[in-house]
Amino acid sequence: MPHTDVIAHRGASAHAPENTLPSFDLAVHQDAGCVEHDLHVTKDGLLVCMHDRTLERTTNVREIFPRRGQEAREGGALVRHWFVHDFTLAEIQQLDAGSWFRPEFAGARVPTFDDLLVWARNRVAVLTELKDPDVYERRGVDLLMSCDAALRRHGLMTRPTDGAVTVQSFHEPTVRRAGQLFVRRVPVVLLVESTDAALLRDRKRVTALAAFASGIGPEKSIVRDHPEIVGWAHDAGLRVTPWTFRAATIGSFKSVGAEMKHYLAEFGVDAVITDHPDESR
Ligand code: G3P
Ligand code: CA
């Protein structure tokens, strides 16, 4: 049975290449109740599942398109980036998004949002993160409206979808717009970084978020340091889904599994977002 309190972060990304169908498949096999993924926009305006704005960390783009990187100066050093927005979908689909992780995943492709929605239907819930909507807005692209169009194409906007898809972002203006646009047919979640923890330290402010959001996604240290936020959110009708539970950041817990259990049982969060859905029980 799927565990509705376990959200697989970029799929089962501790064990398979993030944001690919093998990673999403493995998450379902490991009984995650929901699969989290990220969205960026290609040069031809199509949505693809990718965490970074650039392709070089998780694909072989350097090898396939060696001359298409953009030079930039970062911290005094000259670096090259291959931005998603500089490549068409047809070009991105030529890339290998699996070999960087382990050789047995060679040939994994970058899925489109449409691919993911077809794959997920009647199988698992999806948590969609809109990445950098403000950056795309400056490029004349409305990431939220592209997402809305995809959800409509897949029949996810015509009725309450029982949480088949939830949309989240760190960008509060986009989450507010999504709340108005989706009118609760698709839940929306405001993500909060630890550097913005002060936003959640005021009970009135947390309560006010319920006017447009169905939930909050705090970085997990915010809940650890201020567990009272969970009760405030629940009193306002907001779900709480902290991130990211992974082996490398367990602090004083004995295991990532023990840490997740603590957040669920002791802090009372609604679900945990984890690279290790297999460690949740
Ligand atoms: O679901 C929240 C989490 O995914 C946000 O962080 O950087 O992994 O997208 P990131
Ligand atoms: Ca994410």
Please write the tens of the pLDDT for every residue from 205-253: 999 999 999 999 999 999 999 999 999 999 999 999 999 999 999 999 9
- Residue 108 neighbours by CB distance under 10 Å: 23
Q: What is the distance between the alpha carbons of residues 107 and 100, in angstroms, rounded to a whole number? A: 11
pTM: 0.97
| pLDDT value for 161 | 60
| Full set of structural domains in the chain with CATH | 3-52+108-280 (3.20.20.190)
| pLDDT value for 89 | 98
| pLDDT value for 159 | 67
Residue 7 alpha carbon, nearest atom of ligand 1: 1
Query: How far is the centre of ligand 1, averaged over its atoms, from the C-alpha of 243 (Å)?
Result: 7
CA–CA distances in Å: residue 237 to residues 128, 164, 203, 230, 257: 21, 19, 13, 11, 27
Residues 6+ apart with CB under 8 A from 228: none
Q: At what angle do helices 143-153 and 172-182 cross, to 10 degrees?
A: 30
| pLDDT value for 160 | 65
Helix, strand, coil share (%) of the chain residues, nearest 5: 35, 20, 40
Estimate to the nearest angstrom the gap between the alpha carbon of 244 and the chain centroid: 10
Q: Is 273 in the pocket of ligand 1 (CB under 6 A)?
A: yes
Residue nearest to atom 2 of ligand 1 (CA): 243
Residue 51 alpha carbon, nearest atom of ligand 1: 9
pLDDT beneath 70: ranges in the chain: 159-161
